[in-house]
Chains A and B, each alone.
Chain A
């Protein structure tokens, strides 16, 4: 799992429900990010964090919140789920942080369905 753990693997929500997708890394790396994968659209960045206490928005942040209270954990919260948030969600970490050698490694994903 490239040192990235995601839970749950599958989730079904009803419109309006809230939930948190968990992401944890055991490599003590600074940079973590959340992407969503949709057919024909590749991966799109939702939020990212360059270290504990620091988060920022990516390309498609609306409807999602994040926090980074520790280096290890980077949870993604859906405050009020909508069918448009049906997707596969991937969390990633950088092996070496900033610099030319930086490479992102991905977790196994969470498949979310919103009814």
Chain B
């Protein structure tokens, strides 16, 4: 079955430290992978996506994500966390070009402490 897993419900990191939010996926064929962020009482905002090509994808607000086909992972990273990065992060996969549907993970809450 096609699925996305975000193994951590919450990630805590000190401001200025690097952060990683993990995501693994299970789809047949080539995946199209996305990260979205949700700030409190707001909708989802698109951060970045992987379609093909370079495994390191750069996105908004200094975030980047690394696609690893052998490990079926698409971890979100940032070299230096900000308190304002505290939010709920969702990984999603579009299983193929034959559909526009997205399959979402359950979300990871990122807390950045001063």
Residues of A with Cβ closer than 8 Å to B?
Answer: 1-2, 4, 31, 33, 35, 40-45, 48, 50, 58, 90, 94, 97-109
Give the number of residues in B that approach A within 8 Å (Cβ atoms): 24
Q: Which residues from A are CB-within-8-Å of B106?
A: 40-42
Write out the residue numbers on chain B whose beta carbons fall within 8 Å of the beta carbon of A100. 32, 51-52, 97
In the complex, what residues of A have CB within 8 A of residue B52's CB?
A: 100
Q: Are B46 and A102 neighbours in the complex by a CB distance under 8 Å?
A: no
Q: Which of A42, A94, A108 contacts B104 (CB 8 A)?
A: A42
Indicate whether B22 reaches chain A with its CB closer than 8 angstroms.
no
For B98, give the chain A residue with the smallest CB separation. Answer: A98
Contact with A along B42-65 (1 / 0, CB 8 A): 111110010110000000000000
Considering the chains assembled together, what is the distance between the CA atoms of A31 and B36 in angstroms?
Answer: 18
Interface residues of B (CB under 8 A from A): 4, 9, 32, 34, 36, 42-46, 49, 51-52, 90, 92, 94, 97, 100-102, 104-107
**Which residues from chain B contact A42 at a C-beta distance below 8 Å?**
4, 90, 104-107
Contact, CB under 8 Å: B100 / A98: yes
Contact A58 B100 (CB under 8 A): no
Q: Known contacts A42-B104, A106-B43, A109-B42; can you find 17 more A-B pairs with CB under 8 A?
A: A1-B43, A2-B45, A31-B100, A33-B100, A40-B106, A41-B106, A42-B4, A42-B105, A42-B106, A43-B90, A44-B104, A48-B100, A50-B100, A102-B94, A104-B102, A106-B44, A108-B43
